[in-house]
Structure 1
Amino acid sequence: MRGPHNILRLIRTGATFERTGAMGVALDAVDAPPRLRVAARVMGWPFRWLGYKGDPNLPPVTRAITALGPAYIKFGQILSTRADVVGPELAGHLRMLQDRLPPFPTDQAKAIIEAELRQPVDALFSEFSEPVAAASIAQVHRARVRETGREVAVKVLRPGIAAAFRRDIDAFHFAAGIIETLSPGSRRLRPRDVVSHFQSVVTGEQDMRLEAAAASEFAENTRNDDNFQIPEPHWILSGRRVLTSDWAEGLPMGDREALIAAGHDVSQIAKRVIQLFLQHALRDGFFHADMHHGNLKVAANGDVIAYDFGIMGEIDEYTRRVYAEILYGFIQRDYRRVARVHFEAGYVPRDRDETQFARALRAVGEPIFGADASRISMASLLAYLFEVTERFGMPTRTELILLQRTMVVVEGVARSLDPQLNIWDAAKPVVSDYIKENLGPRAIAKDTAKVVQTLGRYGPLLPNLVDQILWERAHARPAPAVPSRKPWVAMAAGAATLVVGLGLGMMLA
């Protein structure tokens, strides 16, 4: 229920940050302006007694976030990869949110497995460990399949997680409604739709069968990718609340010192992480949308291992083509072309000035071309791009939020391995290959072949279809005039679209 009772939940959020001592740490980490500091203190301090106590053994911000619940933990996981935003110390504290949260009892996990798979755990597995990792949605146990002797990871959904997420998301919906009511200008960002999108993502993440399907599809797409591994699911040992997959043996991506000690080239790994994300997003349109340190390992041979496929992102082929046009325009530093593509695709309202928009894009792009790429922060870039989208009235396109978020997270992971990484140079080969494949004669030939195949498939129906259309036109009465509708391309796109498109474009600088 999204009623006023959620006010208590929001007040309790501020009160928890006050009670745990996290408020000051968080405000200092983001270098909050004086007005925001005063407002936060006024909202939190009087209600301090309402805040959750949390685990006093944890650092303040981590303590507050874990006490508030899984939705807040998800947000903390994103921040844990952004040392350039929250500082290296706080980022290190938040990193435990990725896979080192307090586990629930193993006996409880076994009971869930037995209820889901309808067999005793001992009948399924000859070995079954205590939890080896615990995150916001589920925890993982290392096991050995009794029938085959194969070592596997058994992921078990946390008890009561669905109810906990519903409570948090209801409060987020209520907050979004208040924001839209008090600040009409925020409606173009569609905060309610953003929360609804987040809700759909986390709801899907709570069904392990969907995660198994995503892992299977992702494995098929990436089977020929060099230096990349995916643990494939074991369908017969999986269900709605349980997912069994191959065990991924490797060093945690977040342990830079261990990787160096093992002889790995962390600069090369950082570069590969960026390239893999772009390959999957642009080439396949299906990408891992939760690529933080806790979901990545490095194998003994240097391969990147990705796991936990509860959150996946998709981009349709048309949108990828639009991005290709945007990227190509940025490569040529042809800002008029980039602006025109945005208007043709309906990403910017038609009543805006295309020339002024092109000039705003130039203000974003030119400083990048002349700067040391290792000094460019994606956070700073996104902040400026947000100002541009606000000025030109671009509403948020919620289906691209995952792409935008993942791009920032992946940059954070790569920079944690190699702070001097030139992200643009790392990305350039992947994006260039995509442009060659999708913006030339080869792409036209491919599109023509698809049209011919479609016509061939429906060929037997065409004569009857033509006869029906001609008959209806000959016998139809004149229809009353109706106002014309705008073409679908003029529908609202959004801030996320420009942010992601331009952000990828910058990578080619």
Structure 2
Amino acid sequence: MGSQTLTTNNRRYDPQEIARYYGYRPWLAWGRAIKIIGSFVVFLLALKWDEWFSLEEQNKYKRATQLRQLLTNLGPTFIKVGQALSTRPDLVRKDFLEELIKLQDQLPAFDNAIAYKIIETDLGRPVKDIYSELSPEPVAAASLGQVYRGRLYTGEEVAVKVQRPHLRPVLTLDLYLMRWAATWLSPWLPLNLGHDLTLIVDEFGSKLFEEIDYLNEGRNAEKFATNFRDDPRVKVPAIYWRYTSQQVLTLEWLNGFKLNDTKSIRAAGLDPEEIIKIGVTSGLQQLLEHGFFHADPHPGNLFAMPDGRMGYIDFGMMDQLDERTKETLVDAVVHLVNKDYIDLAQDYVNLGFLTPDTDIRPIVPALEMVLGNALEQNVGDFNFKSITDQFSELVYDYPFRVPAKFAVIIRSLVTQEGIALSLNRNFKIVEVAYPYVAKRLLTGESPQIRRRLLDVLFKDGKFQWERLENLIAIARTDGNFDVLPTAKLGLQYLLSDEGKYLRRQLVLALTEDDRLHTTEVQRLWNLVKDDLQPNRLFDVAIGVLTELSREGVAAILPSVTALTTFGDKQT
């Protein structure tokens, strides 16, 4: 089997086949192994030197910078390793972590002649026959490829992404050496990984191979666009499949401003607050609704467009959450809001942050200390980055591990908050996130979301009037929230078979402690009365009642009768 067969025909990462190939040809890996080992030995000796001469505190930031430079010099695979490690506070000490977050995947552009040759070979036509215009130099160059600005003969302006030459063989060799090292390093590393180190290398390799498959990236972009097809605030570039291949991606050019280009954003007359809100709410939608999320939302991949939309590009790094994980995430939000730290600790078990056999009892007070302090703050003083920094301290004292999927999510949220802070130094992510989550709970039509809402509204069998008030008040800070459709959904649910339990609970809530809770009801009415105009309210009530069967109306009469009888007794 030749090198060409191994590295070109196999689009998926196959560690067994790679191991077989280099197992028969070990000399092909020796040179690269010596360079990698030599670089890390020099770095480790520098760390030891600091330890021997008590220079650790003095040199810690210098060593962190050296680590970032070392990974950059070793090329694309190690740049990606550094980016992955920047999301792992459970594996990397804090000073190194802060430096790795700065790791940029910028590399010098490769030769234009080579890029043009790749385009012609992959698309089977001369460049001049495909594009009427193509920029003489790339407009951007990163670790895995570079981008040109061009135009099709049909007039559309396009971005043309071309992969670096011989990238797959380079990545394949590095992954082989990493996996080989993992097999004998794993027993000696005091890391809280939760998995065998070789499995982590394999997961990293699979994601890396997906990222260098531009056909896969095109499919990701279209799936992402489909998820946001009804959202006029989000723009995803169209893919031109006729001019796209494994190593060449032609997509719609987006005119806009990178989100860290604050001067241009303001000069264009755009409202930074609105741009921030779109970014945060669309990020939450990806996690809690679609389950398919952009795993690399750095400033270069997000654009503020002149018409006020948020443009997304670069769909190589995407990830998928299953329904159970999405539901557990909503559970975690509910338990956090309710300050139910025992249930929250169990959520961490369900999400994979703690193993099922972990004794969560000593962890509960620690969670309450870190997260409780945050929730006691005014929403305007809440900072997601500070919470993740505090949480990272816990991973060394308790058996937490950060699953790879959630490492990416945490990185995504921290990155988005950082972008938002560059637009508005006073930005607090929760000011935008809370209204979204509240609106999601109040308007969710699925049984799962309704169950979560009931979890919020009832505690120890008692109805929490204040929580309902807070939810509505928070949701109304979202300018797009209309309480009337929410009231309609609530009424429909209340009158349905599924709402039988809630009807009983509401009667008990209105009459618990042997009194009618008219004060609480009045407060709720004062909160929503401006939105519930009589004519609109009447139309909704008629609509709901006409949808009900006679049996449905009859089913609720006992509850209403009970409430009326109780009221008569009070008078």
TM-score by length of 2: 0.63
Query: Greater CA deviation, 118-127 or 167-176?
Result: 167-176
Deviation at 1:428, TM superposition (A): 1.3
1:240 aligned residue (229, 237, 246):
246
1:284 aligns with 2:290: yes
State the match for 1:132 in structure 2.
139
SS at match of 1:355: coil
Alpha-carbon distance in 2 for matches of 1:310, 1:185: 29
Alpha-carbon distance in 2 for matches of 1:76, 1:137: 14
Conservation of the 8 A alpha-carbon contact between 1:212 and 1:309: yes
Higher relative contact order (CA 8 A, sep 6+): 1
SS at match of 1:139: strand
Deviation at 1:378, TM superposition (A): 4.3
Alpha-carbon distance in 2 for matches of 1:235, 1:117: 11
Alpha-carbon distance in 1 for matches of 2:327, 2:180: 37
Alpha-carbon distance in 1 for matches of 2:290, 2:410: 17
Conservation of the 8 A alpha-carbon contact between 2:87 and 2:410: no
Q: Deviations over 1:168-191 (max 9, x none)?
A: 434544554565322355353654
SS at match of 2:134: strand
Alpha-carbon distance in 1 for matches of 2:369, 2:356: 21
Alpha-carbon distance in 2 for matches of 1:442, 1:252: 37
SS at match of 2:245: coil
1:324 aligns with 2:350: no
Equivalent AA in structure 1 for residue 412 of structure 2: T
Change (3 A) 1:328 1:251: same
CA RMSD of aligned residues (A): 4.0
Deviation at 1:105, TM superposition (A): 1.9
State the match for 2:119 in structure 1.
113
Change (3 A) 1:164 1:439: same
1:440 aligns with 2:450: yes
Change (3 A) 1:346 1:17: closer
List runs of 5+ in structure 1 lacking aligned partners.
28-32, 45-58, 446-509
State the match for 2:509 in structure 1.
none
SS at match of 2:161: strand
1:72 aligned residue (66, 78, 84):
78
Change (3 A) 1:413 1:13: farther
Equivalent AA in structure 2 for residue 133 of structure 1: A
Percentage of identical aligned residues: 30
State the match for 1:56 in structure 2.
none
SS at match of 1:164: helix
Equivalent AA in structure 2 for residue 141 of structure 1: Y
Change (3 A) 1:77 1:349: closer
SS at match of 1:186: coil
Deviation at 1:7, TM superposition (A): 6.4
Conservation of the 8 A alpha-carbon contact between 1:180 and 1:186: no
Equivalent AA in structure 2 for residue 142 of structure 1: R
Change (3 A) 1:173 1:121: same
Equivalent AA in structure 1 for residue 147 of structure 2: V
State the match for 1:486 in structure 2.
none
Deviation at 1:213, TM superposition (A): 0.5
State the match for 2:274 in structure 1.
268
How many residues align? The count is 413
List runs of 5+ in structure 2 lacking aligned partners.
1-18, 89-93, 455-488, 490-571
Deviation at 1:365, TM superposition (A): 1.1
Change (3 A) 1:247 1:362: same
1:415 aligns with 2:421: yes
Equivalent AA in structure 1 for residue 418 of structure 2: G
SS at match of 2:362: helix
Equivalent AA in structure 1 for residue 335 of structure 2: G
Alpha-carbon distance in 1 for matches of 2:196, 2:387: 21
When Rg is computed on C-alpha atoms for both structures, the one with the higher figure is 2
Equivalent AA in structure 1 for residue 189 of structure 2: S
Conservation of the 8 A alpha-carbon contact between 2:87 and 2:408: no
Deviation at 1:135, TM superposition (A): 0.9
Change (3 A) 1:120 1:272: same
Conservation of the 8 A alpha-carbon contact between 1:190 and 1:396: no
Conservation of the 8 A alpha-carbon contact between 1:188 and 1:393: no
SS at match of 1:440: helix
Alpha-carbon distance in 1 for matches of 2:87, 2:404: 22
Conservation of the 8 A alpha-carbon contact between 1:343 and 1:350: yes
State the match for 2:434 in structure 1.
428
1:142 aligns with 2:149: yes
Alpha-carbon distance in 2 for matches of 1:223, 1:105: 38
State the match for 2:265 in structure 1.
259
Deviation at 1:335, TM superposition (A): 1.4
TM-score by length of 1: 0.70
State the match for 1:450 in structure 2.
none
Change (3 A) 1:183 1:346: closer
